[in-house]
Amino acid sequence: MPHILHIDASARPGLAGTDNHGSHSRNLTQQFVRQWRSRSSKDSVTYRDIGQNPPSFINHDWIASAFTPEERREPWMQETLVESDQLVDELIAADVLVIGTPLYNFGMPAHLKAWVDQIVRAGRTVDIDESNPVDPYIPKLSDRPRHAVILTARGGVGFNPGGEMAHMNHLEPNLATALEFIGITRLHYIAIEGQEVGGELLAASVAEALHKIEALVDELQVALGVVPTPEPV
């Protein structure tokens, strides 16, 4: 049975349409996970709210610890990497990574960047072949098919590929680079736009995104061989 890692990165704790100033990206991830489990209730989900409980930023001690071979790490180094190891373990266990994130000032929230920095780990998610200085990096998470679903909320419009503002969107490209670097190459994107505009434009964008989520759940469950949970008699 597939395992889902569900991550929310929005600084807003509530849900759009339910709470004042609620998060559209959280609404999208909840819709995705709810639809997935409505069809396959036995599939497990790990939830991490990095928007409300952000990972630590990496610092000197983290760098010294992460780049010291495991067999040579001192106890304080092991302790320094406890949080990172837990985040990496969660990611390795996942078959489907679901990330809900707003676009903040043309890029990802600091909380999400902190998570990325914690999970891109030499020896854990990527190996380094020192004999090949031209192309030394070997992704470790390509050992089995993993999918990443990136669900994004944007205040403006035109940030999709080909849009007038696409050149200013550094969120999805940044995430794609990091995830592909460690071996997660099956990436799926759904976004809503127009939060700052509101009205019919936003409503239409949300409706379209929810329709795409429903279709994507179908697509991924087929790809992963999910057996639907039988309806009760």
User: Tens digit of pLDDT for each residue in 19-38?
Assistant: 888 899 999 999 999 999 99
Angle, nearest 10°, between helix axes 171-182 and 110-119?
A: 10
Measure the CA–CA gap between 220 and 149, rounded to whole angstroms.
10
Would you state the torsion angle of the CA atoms of residues 116, 119, 120, 123, taken in this order, to the nearest 10 degrees? Answer: 180
What's the CA gap between 24 and 10, in Å, rounded?
9
Residue 233: which pLDDT band, with cuts at 50, 70 and 90? low
How far apart are the C-alpha atoms of 164 and 153, rounded to whole Å? 17
The residue ranges of every structural domain in the chain are 3-223
85-94 tens-digit pLDDT: 999 999 999 9
Task: Provide the pLDDT for residue 230.
Answer: 66
Residue 171, class by beta-carbon neighbours within 10 Å (0-12 exposed, 13-18 middle, 19+ buried)?
buried
pLDDT of residue 227: 77
What pLDDT does 232 receive?
A: 58
Amino acid letter, residue 16 = A
Distance CA 7, CA 122 (A): 22
Q: pLDDT tens digits for 184-227?
A: 999 999 999 998 888 999 999 999 999 999 999 999 999 999 87
Cross-strand bridge partners of residue 128: 137
What residues are designated binding site for FMN? 10, 23-25
How far is 45 from 148, CA to CA, in rounded Å?
Answer: 14
Return the closest-CA partner of residue 146 out of 200, 90, 190.
90
Chain-wide mean pLDDT for the chain? 95
Class of domain 3-223 (CATH, top level): alpha beta
Task: Tell me the pTM.
Answer: 0.94
Residue 141 CB neighbour total at 10 angstroms: 22
Report pLDDT digits (tens) over 136-192.
Answer: 999 999 999 999 999 999 999 999 999 999 999 999 999 999 999 999 999 999 999
Annotated binding site: 10, 23-25
Task: Find the angle CA(17)-CA(19)-CA(22) to the nearest 5 degrees.
Answer: 75
For residue 201, report the phi and psi dihedrals to the nearest 5 degrees: -60, -50
